[in-house]
Chain A
């Protein structure tokens, strides 16, 4: 992966001429071939895709299942919740009608909460991951390639960002960003909290990737192919985008695969600490917050989001490992 992509197919074609069906394969194709042979990777990819499908198809699932995440079934219908607000049926009210039980007090359907909750979590995580990656890549490459004073300055900013106690900062300053985005003291709209969390998670997220890429670029800057490009009179933009960037796709892709589950759990943790989505939006983190308040009476309400998040994170971490293996078979784990 150290050679520029444009020359890779030729090398492949000449080095394997003995085999009868020697065809030129791009690094992407090679990666795909290796990935397909990795059983764990394929299974975890399927699980990850399933999570995304559930998020996208949430309204369809809701229609088939016949319930929505907003109706307060337990309050509307007598006989579901007892006087303390807990489900009358055992195991948190699991039944053929309410597959995963009923939420304590408000009496919403837990299965629907989970299905729609994925949407919130994934949307925030995906947008944040994309923003974080873009900023991290740009800053990292600029710092590594420019060197000198620019590099020193960016390096110090990265040090600073990584030293912030992030969770504490986010819970302390979510109200500040909220207020900044909505000038008046009206009721905070739902989308606003999502935007605030995305901004804050991005602000504290890019530095790690930037530092990693800066190091990579720094070691690559003095390599022959960059020198060759310089000699032929390539512009800095060409060197960055056509020579350096193709060699950085591997760490970028691996990092962003690992970033996504980290962001989903970060969002859940923040909700657990009280700076998540409002009551109107189904959200995994808020389910945890509520579940930890009622777990002594209704443990099932904690187990469903907990296990769902666990499966999601495991599948994503495994996928990240497999992507790394497929991209760079030299790395041993």
Chain B
């Protein structure tokens, strides 16, 4: 296990460095000049050079990338801004704020959004999947499969906006979605995120229902389930302890992918509901050619995807003893 984890973590680190590198180098192909943006409208050449120097843009791109990378591990010194302790992600080109703090500030929004929605769609998806599998071909099964098909075909920018219109502006059932830290006001935190959670859950539940149902149907006809039944085990324990365990592997696979996507790709959700998480931050960074912030959001998004892959692979071995990590 330890060897497996070390190898995978090193592999993930290599992938993250490559992705950061690609982002960094591509950024300098963009026509926008951050120094000119920082310098303002009337910009004499000396001030422009000074701005360029302050932003660290007066070095070759490769050197800049290496010092950016080094900053994460050992911190770095900025001319005019002083020392930035590790883990240093630099200072925003736009408002001079340390990017690491901005990320720490925004990350809870995205994570709260992801975790809340996951709890709902995992519970509902797996539950409806089990019920559908046990009542194969009955009305309930058909309703579950039709509604999951419709749910999976929905787009967050459509359903989310519709929900905002009807439930927030017309019926006033939900407050305007917003993020209040859970430590300040747990009830407000819950209310502010409930609508986005439900909308995300409607879209994501479908996959889990389908996956749970089909694997469950397969597992129920497995020999070990028949053996358990034959030795007189009650129906409930057969389903819960044997058949369900077998369905966990594919569920965890798609859950890992979804979790990575939700944390890394919250752009659309956050835009739809006007929540200020990592997704909105990354769009703003693109709009303002804010390289340090863009790099940080790319790192968070890619890190979530890569990290989840490792967790999923490690969990396989825990759930299914037949899987050997190599």
Contacts and interface: CB of A to CB of B under 8 A. Distances in A.
A273 B271 contact: yes
Contact of A160 (B15, B26, B157, B217): B15
A273 B279 CA distance: 11
B283 A313 contact: no
Contacts of B306: 163
B29 A179 contact: yes
B155 A309 contact: yes
Given A163-B15, A171-B286, A292 B153 contact: no
Interface in A163-222: 163-169, 171-173, 175-176, 179-180, 185
A160 B297 CA distance: 17
A167 B268 contact: yes
B18 A292 contact: no
A176 B169 contact: no
B181 to A, nearest CB: 25
Contacts of A310: 150, 153-155, 158
A210 to B, nearest CB: 17
B298 A292 contact: no
Interface string A259-301: 0010001001100110000000000000010011001100100
B126 interface: no
A318 B155 CA distance: 17
Contacts of B282: 168, 172
B276 interface: no
Contacts of B297: 168
Interface in B230-265: 264-265
A176 B30 CA distance: 5
B268 A273 contact: yes
B29 A292 contact: no
Contacts, number: 116
A85 to B, nearest CB: 18
A229 B31 CA distance: 55
B319 interface: no
Nearest to A165: B301
B155 A265 contact: yes
B191 interface: no
Question: How many interface residues does chain B have, given as a range?
Answer: 35 or more
Given A160-B15, A295-B165, A296-B165, A165 B264 contact: yes
B54 interface: no
B105 interface: no
A175 B301 contact: no
A165 B153 contact: no
Main secondary structure of the interface of A (DSSP, over half): helix
A223 B309 CA distance: 30
Interface in B157-197: 157-159, 161-162, 164-165, 169
Contacts of A166: 265
A272 B19 contact: no
B122 interface: no
A317 B162 CA distance: 23
A185 B283 contact: no
B184 to A, nearest CB: 28
A162 B264 CA distance: 12
B268 A176 contact: no
A89 interface: no
Contact of A269 (B30, B155, B302): B155
Interface in B193-235: 210, 214, 217-218
B158 A159 contact: no
B55 interface: no
A299 B31 contact: no
Given A302-B162, A314-B153, 11 more contacts: A163-B19, A165-B305, A166-B265, A167-B267, A168-B282, A265-B155, A269-B268, A273-B267, A296-B169, A299-B162, A310-B154
11 contacts: A167-B267, A168-B286, A169-B298, A171-B283, A172-B294, A173-B26, A269-B155, A309-B158, A310-B155, A318-B149, A333-B214
Interface of B: 11, 15-16, 18-19, 23, 26-27, 29-32, 149-150, 152-155, 157-159, 161-162, 164-165, 169, 210, 214, 217-218, 264-265, 267-268, 271-272, 282-283, 286, 294, 297-298, 301-302, 305-306, 309
